[in-house]
Amino acid sequence: MKQVAVIGGGAAGMMAAITAAKEGAQVTIYEKNEKLGKKLYITGKGRCNLTNFCEPSDFFPNVVSNPKFLYSAVSSFTSKDTCAFFEDAGLRLKVERGNRVFPQSDKSSDVIKTLEKELKANHVKVCLHREIKDLAELKEDAIIIATGGITYPSTGSTGDGYRFAKEMGHDVREPIQALVPLLAKDDFIGRLEGLSLRNVSAVIKSGKKKYYEGFGEMLFTDRGVSGPLILSASSYVGRKLEEAECILHIDLKPALSEEMLDARILRDFEEQKNKDFRNALGKLLPAKLIPVMVELSGIDPFKKVNTITKKSGSG
Ligand SMILES: Cc1cc2nc3c(=O)[nH]c(=O)nc-3n(C[C@H](O)[C@H](O)[C@H](O)COP(=O)(O)OP(=O)(O)OC[C@H]3O[C@@H](n4cnc5c(N)ncnc54)[C@H](O)[C@@H]3O)c2cc1C
């Protein structure tokens, strides 16, 4: 009987071990943590969004870089196969908005339990507290490296797989962050910390080149920007940011054309013509943004609104 070693007992390692065992191999998982699936446990805010109920053809356009690499894997084990696998193993699933699939219990721990049950049913040996430092330690006929990437290293994925792959002669491209907040250089950023914006559009450019355009929700942090819109953007601009400085343009009123916005500002100003400029923006902007926008406009904050002309700002 063929012997297979799997390094790493995360989602990939457990699935690989079950699959190899079903094919008739004698499989051992080596996991450095005290338990299996430590990262899986925190996925989907503890609910584990275990797949998206869509066709492979819908899946690939959403892969940011190198979707071709996933063609074979995703076509031979589709998201429908994933659902069937878990349901056959006794885990009841549900499909939520955007075709996202979750366990009916909303507990990622149930996904882990199901995988553990399948490991046991297929006689996979699990060695916990066992960190593999060198591939030569393993005597099995085949080794599957399922050590994860280098995100959330506290869950065990510390990048060992890249080293193993290099040692085996593979080319490894320097990994780059994705789905992360972005840092901004502007001094005013810290003053906007905690401000969240809904239904805004964001464009990220370097010179005339547009690297990202999206719509949704974002928020300001102490040193930059975050939120769903920005996390998505980071996957597109990560490598670009290493090469060139990029500028994030935020459109707070994407539903309005420039002319409509102009008319709206004139209307607001007409209604508040005797107020100071700094006190006349309450209908247009969130409170936290007003002092920053006033400063950036270059207009005297104490200037009466009815004395502001098209040329008043610094541009
Ligand atoms: C906060 C968060 C939320 C997420 N939510 C979702 C979600 O809802 N849906 C989704 O599809 N994805 C989600 N993901 C992504 C998903 O978690 C990962 O894609 C997935 O866990 C990767 O599985 P893996 O088995 O490749 O790696 P990991 O889960 O990282 O497992 C690798 C395992 O290998 C072990 N290991 C590493 N090196 C060694 C070694 N030398 N010897 C022995 N063992 C070793 C580690 O301890 C670890 O247990 C989320 C990720 C995070 C961080």
pLDDT tens figures, 30-43 = 999 999 999 999 99
pLDDT of 306 > 70? The answer is yes
User: Does 13 sit in the ligand 1 pocket, CB within 6 Å?
Assistant: yes
User: Does 147 sit in the ligand 1 pocket, CB within 6 Å?
Assistant: yes
Looking at the chain, the whole-number percentage of residues with pLDDT higher than 90 is 91
- Cα 151 to ligand 1 centroid, rounded to whole Å: 8
What pLDDT was estimated at residue 313? Answer: 63
Average pLDDT over the chain reads 95
pLDDT of 242 > 90? The answer is no
Task: Tell me the domain boundaries of the chain.
Answer: 1-44+108-175, 49-106, 182-251, 258-307
User: Does 44 sit in the ligand 1 pocket, CB within 6 Å?
Assistant: yes
CATH topology of domain 1-44+108-175: FAD/NAD(P)-binding domain (3.50.50)
What pLDDT was estimated at residue 309? Answer: 85
DSSP 8-state assignment for residue 23: T
Rounded to an integer, what distance in angstroms lies between the CA atom of residue 71 and that of residue 60? 8
What pLDDT was estimated at residue 9? Answer: 98
Instruction: Please list, in sequence order, all residues whose beta carbon lies within 8 angstroms of the beta carbon of residue 126, skipping any fewer than 6 positions away.
Output: 9, 28, 29, 31, 36, 119
What pLDDT was estimated at residue 239? Answer: 86
What pLDDT was estimated at residue 315? Answer: 46
Residue-wise burial string across 210-236, b where 16 or more C-beta atoms lie within 10 A, e elsewhere: ebbebebebbbbeebbbbebbbbbbbb
- Type of residue at 238: G
Instruction: Please list, in sequence order, all residues whose beta carbon lies within 8 angstroms of the beta carbon of residue 217, skipping any fewer than 6 positions away.
Output: 196, 197, 198, 199, 200, 227, 228, 229
Mean pLDDT of 16-24: 98
Index of the ligand 1 atom closest to the CA of residue 12:
25
Rounded to an integer, what distance in angstroms lies between the CA atom of residue 200 and that of residue 208? 21
User: Does 48 sit in the ligand 1 pocket, CB within 6 Å?
Assistant: yes
CATH topology of domain 182-251: Elongation Factor Tu (Ef-tu); domain 3 (2.40.30)
User: Does 131 sit in the ligand 1 pocket, CB within 6 Å?
Assistant: yes
pLDDT digit string (tens) for 191-208?
999 999 999 999 999 999
